[in-house]
Amino acid sequence: MKTTPAPEVRDEEVGEAPERLAHSWLGRGLFALTIVVSLSHLYFNTLGTLSEVWTSALHFGMFGLLCALSVPMLKARSATGRRLVLAVDVLLGLAALGCAFYLIGFEDALYARGVRFSTADWVVSILALALVLEFARRTTGWFIPVLCLVALTYVAWWGRHVSGVFGFPGLNWETVLYRSYMGGEGMLGSIARISWSYVFMFILFGAFLVRSGAGDFIIELARCAAGRFVGGPGFVAVFSSGLMGSVSGSSVANTVSTGVITIPLMRKAGFPARFAAGVEAAASTGGQLMPPVMGAGAFIMASYTQVSYLTIIGVAALPALLYFLSVAMFVRIEAKRSHTEEVEVAEAPRLLEVLKGGWHFLLPLVVLVASLIYGFTPTYAAGIAILSVVVASWLSKSPMTPRAIFEALALGSRNMVTTAILLLTVGLIVNVVSTTGIGNTFSLMITDWAGGSLLITIVLIAVASLVLGMGLPVTAAYIVLGTLSAPALYNLMAHGQLVELIMAGDLPEQARAIFMLAAPEHLEALNAPMDAAAARELLALVPDDFRGQLYEQALSPHTLTMLLVAAHMVIFWLSQDSNVTPPVCLTAFAAAAIAQTPQMRTGFTAWKIAKGLYIVPLLFVWSPLITGSPLEMLSVFAFALFGIYAIIAGLEGYLESELSWWLRLAMFPIGALMLWPHGELVLDLLGLALFLGILAWSSRAGRASRQALA
């Protein structure tokens, strides 16, 4: 199999110093340290018996040391300055490791004193917070450290001076520091546990796949599958980004690894440079939506909702596929408009040739899914899959040697640095939100602003995610926004389900008992069907204190669970838009650098192509795309696919040929007919028939136009 070299897939590392990695003794030291870090975490997740708090502390210490050594505090120009910076970084890294060992060694003494801080406890706690904020500044910029400082000082200082619903009586600094570090909360809390377990294991799994050569196989498989279609290189970008994203879980890493191959291919085929960069950015953004990794989102979502990881990735698959196909629709339309169908077909490899040379790369993914279905935890499943990568490589002409295994271990740790520091730091913010109850206040505020409207609530969340995404990576934006707004969205979705039950007169007897207590004079009205307005008025009579109990009595546990998953999935999808939405769109900027196009204009192009980020989440709320039976989910998927195609044709003014202005306008209601949650199959089929008719007419018109030009 002919392979194309691809750069190593790495997480969104910021400021890593190549000269340190290439240095004679320091480079070897870093290489050894990354291997030790990976092996330690493999031990933590398989054979380890340390407490979760101790493991989280060691996770902070080891990645703090790795961050300090690989990402300099500042860039010095002179050799003397670089040596001085290195000396300071070594001290800071060792200090982080020392903070971890201090907690392990003196935790019992702290509790023996009745959780009263000694002088050493004060010093270590303050130092640990200062270090994690400094490491976050190095890897993600100033926004997150500043946000953490604002949150911590709110709890201990200025919150008591705020009037109204956001006022907080305040905690003393000893309690704040205890909850932030020494007590195993905050930076060592649940988010840290997700980081050192699920996230690390799957990032290491991706590193092993890439080092074994799977990245080359993915590119070749994508070229084979899509290279012979009209606009083939564009489909290669979409397909390869979907496959690569399913294991890398990082949009920027996805862009730089596949974009250096796909963007030149698209330009060679005749696509405009800015469009090629926009397609790669939009497709790579979908990498965080594609199971199994989902940029750590699947693990965090499973922790928040208490729904199994296997269920999360199961319901995420169809929406992710819908998103990638929506990007492919833009490619198809642009290929027709730019006349790129004359692609060099001979360059596309043959499927049998590709599979013959790389079929073994598919085995680890099969092993991973089979392990999850069999009942292994995600961490054990990832561990088994890592072993299967090594075993599968022995079936190829280039088996992984011990050196290659060590390089994969090192790559996994290096890819994890930014994510580990990010999740440790965001844990501080999440702890403040849970301590102060500001999340519930924010949810109530969103509900109040939206006036009970689910659509306005989603719009407000989308705006908030865009603003947060300007300063936070998408995973952090999802964590913060999910903590703040998921309860509001979930309550409104449950409210809508309950309204439908009341309208149909199908309210269970247990729920009727709550109405008997809250509004006995209206109990008789529940026996007959009614319109939506009357149902909402009747539901408004139930006090807020009884609302949660009413949901539990009226709706099944499965329904409530899937509504919670849907609420988090909406927020997770909307959090991705900062990747492709100006003014801060890192994925689009990375693609623009490869295509050598203007950054902001590329960002707007990527934003247009990524419209699925806004359409698909609406289906989570108003359709059974992720909450229904398999048949319902497939039905929604099929009609939504054509509905989105119709809307994209309306946006572009082109299908198989140019559309007249009135047909272009007609595409929007036709698409809405298939997307709108009316529940009428006849209307869906009507919209589909209209669209297919216009598609057939446009195809004939396109052929006639090309024949006339010939």
For residue 249, the model assigns a pLDDT of 58
Predicted confidence band of residue 179 (pLDDT cuts 50, 70, 90)? very high
For residue 222, the model assigns a pLDDT of 67
Q: How far is CA 130 from CA 142, 171, 524, in A?
A: 13, 19, 62
Q: Are residues 527 and 451 in the same domain?
A: yes
pLDDT tens figures, 592-610: 888 889 888 998 999 999 9
Average pLDDT of span 542-561 = 83
Average pLDDT of span 649-661 = 91
Is the predicted pLDDT of residue 35 greater than 90, yes or no?
yes
Is residue 684 included in any domain, yes or no? yes
Angle of CA points 328, 249, 198, to nearest 5°:
145
Is residue 543 included in any domain, yes or no? yes
Per-residue tokens: 314: 């199961």
* Nearest by Cα to 479 from 448, 439, 436, 437: 439
Handedness of CA 538, 539, 545, 547 (dihedral sign): positive
Q: Are residues 672 and 558 in the same domain?
A: no
* Nearest by Cα to 181 from 298, 64, 12: 64
Residue bearing tokens 């083939």: 232
Angle of CA points 99, 102, 107, to nearest 5°:
125
Is residue 330 included in any domain, yes or no? no
Q: Are residues 557 and 681 in the same domain?
A: no
Q: Label each residue of 524-555 as H, E or C.
A: HHHHCCCCHHHHHHHHHCCCHHHHHHHHHHHC
Prediction pTM value: 0.80
Q: How far is CA 26 from CA 8, 61, 370, in A?
A: 21, 19, 41
For residue 167, the model assigns a pLDDT of 83
pLDDT tens figures, 228-287: 666 677 787 788 777 776 666 567 777 877 787 788 878 877 889 999 999 999 998 888
pLDDT tens figures, 366-391: 888 788 888 788 888 889 989 999 99
For residue 523, the model assigns a pLDDT of 72
φ, ψ at 143 (rounded to 5°): -60, -50
In order, the DSSP letters of 321-372 are HHHHHHHHHHHHHHHHHHT-----GGGSPPHHHHHHHHGGGGHHHHHHHHHH
- The residue with greater pLDDT, 574 or 348, is 574
Per-residue tokens: 76: 């010095």
Q: How far is CA 440 from CA 300, 434, 447, 542, 563, in A?
A: 19, 9, 11, 19, 18
**Which residues, 6+ apart, have CB-to-CB distance to 603 below 8 Å?**
281, 580, 581, 582, 583, 585, 588, 589, 592
φ, ψ at 98 (rounded to 5°): -65, -40
Percent of the chain's residues with pLDDT above 90: 36
Predicted confidence band of residue 91 (pLDDT cuts 50, 70, 90)? very high
Is residue 26 included in any domain, yes or no? no
Is the predicted pLDDT of residue 4 greater than 60, yes or no?
no
For residue 18, the model assigns a pLDDT of 66
Overall number of domains in the chain: 2
Is residue 655 included in any domain, yes or no? yes
For residue 1, the model assigns a pLDDT of 41
Q: 22-31, 219-228, 645-654, 656-665: lowest mean pLDDT where?
A: 219-228
Angle of CA points 394, 398, 399, to nearest 5°:
30
Is residue 104 included in any domain, yes or no? no
For residue 10, the model assigns a pLDDT of 39
Of the chain, the end-to-end C-alpha distance in Å amounts to 38
Is residue 182 included in any domain, yes or no? no
For residue 17, the model assigns a pLDDT of 63
CB 22 within 8 A of CB 29: no
For residue 263, the model assigns a pLDDT of 86
Residue bearing tokens 């702290």: 110
Per-residue DSSP letter, 8: P
Q: Are residues 455 and 553 in the same domain?
A: yes
Q: Which domain holds residue 665?
A: 631-710
Of the residues 571, 605, 640, the one at which a domain ends: 571
Q: Are residues 558 and 635 in the same domain?
A: no
Per-residue tokens: 684: 């869906």
Is residue 688 included in any domain, yes or no? yes
Per-residue tokens: 338: 């730019």
* Nearest by Cα to 191 from 477, 428, 474: 428
Q: Are residues 441 and 563 in the same domain?
A: yes
Of the residues 571, 588, 620, the one at which a domain ends: 571
pLDDT tens figures, 138-177: 988 888 899 899 999 999 999 888 887 788 888 999 999 9
Distance CA 499, CA 516 (A): 17
- The residue with greater pLDDT, 323 or 249, is 323
Q: How far is CA 194 from CA 3, 419, 562, 657, in A?
A: 35, 11, 21, 50
pLDDT tens figures, 396-409: 778 899 999 999 99
Can you say how many angstroms the Cα of residue 604 is from the centroid of all Cα atoms in its chain? 21
Is the predicted pLDDT of residue 342 greater than 60, yes or no?
no
pLDDT tens figures, 113-140: 889 999 999 999 999 999 999 999 998 8
Tell me what the pLDDT averaged over the chain comes to.
Answer: 84
In order, the DSSP letters of 30-93 are HHHHHHHHHHHHHHHHHT----HHHHHHHHHHHHHHHHHHHS-SS--SSHHHHHHHHHHHHHHH
Q: Are residues 567 and 638 in the same domain?
A: no
Is the predicted pLDDT of residue 343 greater than 50, yes or no?
no
Q: Are residues 637 and 549 in the same domain?
A: no
Q: Are residues 444 and 564 in the same domain?
A: yes
pLDDT tens figures, 459-514: 888 888 877 776 667 777 888 888 888 888 998 898 888 888 888 777 787 877 77
Which residue type is seen at 615? I
Predicted confidence band of residue 2 (pLDDT cuts 50, 70, 90)? very low
For residue 337, the model assigns a pLDDT of 85
Q: Are residues 445 and 559 in the same domain?
A: yes
**Given its phi and psi angles, is residue 637 left (phi above 0), alpha (psi -120 to 50 degrees) or beta?**
alpha
Residue bearing tokens 């009413």: 550
Spell out the alpha helix ranges (H) of 346-473.
Answer: 351-358, 363-374, 378-393, 402-436, 438-450, 454-469
Distance CA 128, CA 95 (A): 8
Q: Are residues 441 and 552 in the same domain?
A: yes
Q: Are residues 666 and 564 in the same domain?
A: no
Distance CA 518, CA 576 (A): 42
For residue 226, the model assigns a pLDDT of 59
Q: 27-31, 319-323, 641-645: lowest mean pLDDT where?
A: 27-31
Q: How far is CA 573 from CA 139, 476, 583, in A?
A: 24, 13, 19
Distance CA 94, CA 92 (A): 5
Q: 44-48, 637-641, 666-670: lowest mean pLDDT where?
A: 44-48
Compute and round to an integer the Cα radius of gyration of the chain. 27
For residue 227, the model assigns a pLDDT of 56
For residue 347, the model assigns a pLDDT of 56
CB 27 within 8 A of CB 1: no
